[in-house]
Amino acid sequence: MNKIEIINTLDEEIKELAEISKLMDYACNFMKLDNVTFNIIIVDNNTIHKINKDYRGIDRPTDVISFALEDEKDMILDSEVGRILGDIYISIDKCREQAKEYGHSFLRELAFLSVHGFLHLQGYDHMEKKDEEVMFKLQDDILDSYGIRRG
């Protein structure tokens, strides 16, 4: 059984998080993952700006940052919880901005950022064009098959 915790650090209710929880369970099944643990942590622009500056040396807010524990040579394995994938930080402010900018719903943008971060936890990246194509197709496949489409 997978353990996916969504932690809202903000003083506001975000009703879409219930749907994100279902989506992430679906994404685990889609990727044939079982007995994994990871967190999605919802923050504001100030918090993600600090994280981005401290850990990546980039002095600006961003939309999503993933800290994959399996980036290390040794996989983190706990007999109680299985594989511990890591943490995904999502800026709710950036999420709202980008939903408006791209002309789709807040849920669609939050879902995209969640799946994007989830794939990073598994080692996918988009530094090279061929890797980007693989990762972005997988994102679209997960979101489309779940029923969250662009627009």
Is residue 131 pLDDT above 60, yes or no?
Answer: yes
CA distance 34 to 46: 34
Lowest mean pLDDT among 66-70, 100-104, 112-116: 66-70
Q: What would the mean pLDDT of 76-103 be, rounded to a whole number?
A: 87
- Band of residue 149 on the pLDDT scale cut at 50, 70, 90: confident
Is residue 68 pLDDT above 60, yes or no?
Answer: yes
Question: Exposed (0-12), middle (13-18) or buried (19+): which is 40, by Cβ within 10 Å?
Answer: buried
Is residue 113 pLDDT above 70, yes or no?
Answer: yes
Is residue 14 pLDDT above 80, yes or no?
Answer: yes
Domain 3-146 has CATH 3.40.50.970: no
Closest CA to 49 of 11, 94, 86, 18: 94
- Provide the β-strand partners of residue 89: 41, 65
- How is residue 59 written in tokens? 């002095």
- To the nearest 10 degrees (0 to 180), the angle between helices 106-121 and 17-30 is 40
CA distance 65 to 114: 10
pLDDT of residue 72: 52
* Whole-structure pTM value: 0.92
Considering the chain, what is the average pLDDT of its residues? 92
